[in-house]
Amino acid sequence: MSATLRIAVVDYGMGNRRSVQKALEHVGAQATITREHEELGLADGLVLPGVGAFPQAMANLEALGLRELILARAAAGTPVLGICLGMQLLFERSIELEPTDGLGLIPGEVTWLDAGGRRIPHIGWNEVRFGRASRLTEGLPLHGAAFYHVHSLAVRPSDPRDVIATTEYGERFATIVERDAVLGVQFHPEKSSLIGLRMLANFGAICGGRAREPAGAAARR
């Protein structure tokens, strides 16, 4: 991965920002934790991390003027990766605590995980089963791999084609999603050892491919 590749970790006051930054740096990216609009506007890719409650996360994004910035960058084709709560924010709405609108980059909603009587939140390593090919899972075992999860809710994509991989915990739920250049993972790749680092390197490669496009390429697509 090129050391000049710039990936911005969106700082909206929630989540494991520093550990995501360190993991990205480990795989060769120039990663910055920032809420500065200019830096976010120049980055080759954005990572939206998050730990906490959906309504507060959206309130923070709105208060910092980051909601519209993320939407604009995604519309321009900039790769965006949501991690854990950050993945849930990519969807249209969540019922957590109170009904709250999300970014709406992927059709669908977020509801409570049906754990079938198991403990909530779902915490720990769990097998992720890959359903179809994705740039995010390139080079990973074809059958899937174990990743570290911490969550109580699950995303419900409206279009099954947006689902890349699933995990089972009581029910089987979507744990990797992809729509155009918008990607999300319910687990924490930065806490998932070498397999997680490979996934972050793949995201860097996606961002690098975008960065090498000639000017105006996105507009011509």
92-130 residue pLDDT tens: 999 999 999 999 999 999 999 999 999 999 999 999 999
Domain spans of the chain, in order of start: 6-220
Q: Which residues, including other chains, have CB under 8 Å from residue 105's CB and lie 6 or more apart?
A: 71, 74, 80, 90, 91, 179, 182
Tell me which of 2.60.120.10, 1.10.287.1040, 3.40.50.880, 3.30.110.40 is the CATH number of domain 6-220: 3.40.50.880
Q: Which stretches within 46-176 are classed as H helix?
A: 54-63, 66-75, 85-89
Average pLDDT in the chain? 91
According to DSSP, the β-strands at 80-83 and 45-48 are parallel
Tokens representing 35? 């809420």
Q: Is 101 exposed, middle or buried (0-12, 13-18, 19+ CB in 10 A)?
A: middle
Just list the catalytic residues. Answer: 84, 188, 190
Model pTM above 0.85: yes
Measured in Å, how far apart are the chain's first and last C-alpha atoms?
25
